[in-house]
Amino acid sequence: MNIETLKQPFVILLVGPPMSGKTTWINTNFPDIDVISRDEILMEVYGSKDYTEAFRNVDQKLVDKTLKERFEEYSKEGRDTIIDMTNLTPKTRKKNLSYFGKEYTKIAVAFPILSDEEYQRRNDYRQQVENKYIPQSVMKSMISNYIVPTLDEGLDEIIIL
């Protein structure tokens, strides 16, 4: 994807389970684009970079309120935006895209499902580096709910990695 050729403003919706490489993909390809990440908002609202502690103790309603405000702010300002969340279902994708009007080019980038062993390897690494761990049962449940995005969700383009 070439950022210079995208019709602006644009919103790129990342689609994939945790640990599928979404944040790494952003950092590698688009380090200067505004990103909305519920995980980052969660830690910001709680006031700690310790994800596990923040997730257990933060007011989730306040996180969701802040997330909504961020969507509204970026859209109102016409900012090019990447949504770094799992976005595994059409309902979630439609809701997140609904903040961005018709003037936005809406692109989904779908990440592949990895092997159980690869998720475990990445999960172990994340636990050591970020104190962020997702139980295998939660991962399996999330993956079982994954539906590949389609254009009828209001998307202009879908990129399957």
74-109 tens-digit pLDDT: 999 999 999 999 999 999 999 999 999 999 999 999
Strand, helix or coil for residue 133: coil
Between CA 9 and CA 138 the distance in angstroms is 35
CATH code for position 66: 3.40.50.300
Q: Is the pLDDT of residue 4 over 70?
A: no
CA distances to 40, 63, 126 from 81, in Å: 15, 19, 25
- Domains contained in the chain, number: 1
pTM, whole model, 2 decimals?
A: 0.91
Q: Percentage helix, strand, coil, to 5, in the chain? A: 50, 15, 35
Domain of residue 19, residue span: 3-160
Statement: residue 119 has pLDDT above 90: yes
Report how far residue 133's alpha carbon sits from residue 126's, in angstroms, rounded to the nearest whole number: 7
